[in-house]
Amino acid sequence: MIPYFPQPEFHLFGPVTVHAFGAIVAVAVIVGWRMVVARARTKGLDPGLIEDLLSYVLISGFVVAHLYSVLAYFPREAMEDPLLLLKFWEDISSFGGFAGGLLGLWLFFRFKARDVDAAARLRCLDVIAYVFPFAWAIGRIACSVAHDHPGTVTTFPLGISLKTPEAQAYIAFFYREAGRLAELPPPAVLSKMAFHDLGWYEFLYMSCLMVPAFLVLDRKPRPAGFFLVAFPVLYVPVRFFLDFLRIGDARYLGLTPAQYAGIPVFLAAIFFMVRIARRKEKE
């Protein structure tokens, strides 16, 4: 099992503290940004256009990721304290981020770059989609060190060990918040167990499977839009099943908001993947 450790933090001066999560997310954004711009150049796209597009995508993505997380997962807390909606540095949702990124794309091409034709737009999106797993893998390192997506207790070898009292107190907090504290075994038994860390699992999946898969798929020319649909096809099923391991996320008829969002995204991706394949056959 993987040893538990609290999130590293660095005290700079006075009340200013840098948490590992924020620092690693910043690295993910910087690396992803540079990779997208570099790939845009190799694909004959205007780097300036791509950078403007990325600005819209990132800002909109982070804003909607937060709003979606608060409204979908913590509606009661939002009603009690509406200011939660303005704390954009807290509580973000993956699928909310995806939706926000798409909103940013629409805003950019609707108001900033209306003269860009459909084919060029699709090529821009495909460049971003290709880089996304690389940046996402780095971002999930941030989730791993923060343990901000804890799942149920387990004996799975890749889970985070509950050997230490600190680790047990950490997971007990989430079980207590979910009203499931009675489900935890006694400390003597719990110390031999672990908890599922969903951010850690996604990092493993991204770095060990999706990133290598994208590198292999990129060895041959692909039609525009290929990687745009390949990402949800490969990502959504894994995320769907991982969500069943969550402890206290809001559920509606047994499914989390992310699972409901993932279903139409996956079906749409399959639909467009089939269209791309048929179009290639006709060429």
Q: How many Å apart are CA 228 and CA 222, to the nearest integer? A: 11
Cβ atoms 225, 219 nearer than 8 A: no
Helix (H) or strand (E) holding 19: strand 16-19
Are the C-beta atoms of residues 33 and 59 closer than 8 Å to each other? no
The confidence score (pLDDT) of residue 74 equals 67
| CA distance readout (Å), 135 to 27, 96, 191, 196 | 9, 17, 34, 22
Mean pLDDT across 44-56? 92
Phi, psi of 88, deg, nearest 5: -70, -15
Q: What number is the average pLDDT over the span 101-130?
A: 90
d(CA 5, CA 163): 11
CA atoms lying within 13 Å on the CB side of residue 249? 24
Strand ranges (E), 82-181: 150-154, 160-161
d(CA 238, CA 136): 14
Higher pLDDT, 242 or 64: 242
Q: What is the pLDDT, as a whole number, of residue 86?
A: 67
pLDDT of 141: 93
The Cα–Cα gap between 60 and 268 comes to: 22
Give the residue from 256, 245, 269 showing the smallest Cα distance to 68.
Answer: 256
Ramachandran area for residue 19 (φ above 0: left; ψ -120 to 50: alpha; else beta):
beta
Give which of 140, 150, 129 is closest to 276, Cα–Cα.
129
**C-alpha to C-alpha distance for 195 and 175, rounded to whole angstroms:** 11
pLDDT per position as a tens digit, 211-241? 999 999 999 989 888 999 999 999 999 999 9
Instruction: Report the Cα–Cα distance between both ends of the chain, in Å, rounded.
Output: 51
pTM given for the model: 0.85
